[in-house]
């Protein structure tokens, strides 16, 4: 049995079942599927470590990355500041910290002001 495969410039070519091209494509498809499963699994793991509200919808990949960056920035600032974490975050939400210290991690529209 032969299958149609698009060739260059829209031409169709026939590749018989078991042809080297078809075997290579199948192997490449399997590798790509495994790669995507691995990436998706890593995103699911990352989502479990990024704090979110329980009622929020599942984060997209880009939102997960952005929130992870913001969370890491917050943790870094907490370590550098040597303040009580709750007090530090409350000050950031009230706008009492210099803008360069909290603008990265304050991703919420929520404010205590």
Q: What is the pLDDT of residues 1-53, one digit of tens each?
A: 555 555 555 555 666 777 888 889 999 999 999 999 999 999 999 999 998 87
User: Is 1 in contact with 17 (CB distance < 8 Å)?
Assistant: yes
Angle made by CA atoms 43, 64, 111, in degrees to the nearest 5: 155
Phi, psi angle pair for 4, to nearest 5° = -85, 135
Q: Same domain, yes or no, for 21 and 44?
A: yes
Number of domains in the chain: 2
Tokens standing for residue 14:
């026939």
Alpha helices (H) in the chain, listed in sequence order = 20-49, 61-81, 85-94, 99-102
Range of the structural domain that residue 29 is part of = 1-49
CB-based contacts of 4, cutoff 8 Å, min separation 6: 12, 13, 14
Q: Same domain, yes or no, for 22 and 42?
A: yes
Q: Same domain, yes or no, for 63 and 111?
A: yes
Residue 85 pLDDT: 86
Residue 80 pLDDT: 86
Q: Same domain, yes or no, for 23 and 71?
A: no
Helix (H) or strand (E) holding 5: strand 2-6
Q: Same domain, yes or no, for 58 and 12?
A: no
Residue 113 pLDDT: 40
Q: Same domain, yes or no, for 108 and 69?
A: yes
Q: Same domain, yes or no, for 1 and 17?
A: yes
Q: Same domain, yes or no, for 67 and 113?
A: yes
Q: Same domain, yes or no, for 29 and 6?
A: yes
User: pLDDT class for 112, splitting at 50, 70, 90?
Assistant: very low
**What does pTM read for this prediction?**
0.65
Convert the pLDDT of each residue in 52-101 to its tens digit: 877 778 889 999 999 999 899 888 888 888 888 888 888 877 877 776 55
């Amino acid at each position: 049995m032969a299958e149609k495969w698009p060739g260059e410039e829209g031409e169709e070519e026939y590749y018989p079942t078991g042809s080297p091209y078809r075997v290579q494509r199948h192997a490449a498809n399997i590798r790509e599927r495994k790669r995507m499963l691995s990436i998706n699994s890593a995103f699911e793991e990352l989502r479990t470590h990024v704090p979110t509200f329980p009622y929020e919808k599942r984060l997209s990949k880009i939102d997960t990355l952005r929130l992870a960056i913001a969370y890491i920035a917050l943790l870094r600032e907490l370590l550098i500041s040597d303040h009580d974490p709750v007090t530090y975050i409350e000050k950031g939400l009230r706008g009492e910290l210099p803008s360069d210290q909290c603008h990265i991690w304050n991703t919420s529209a929520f404010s205590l002001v």
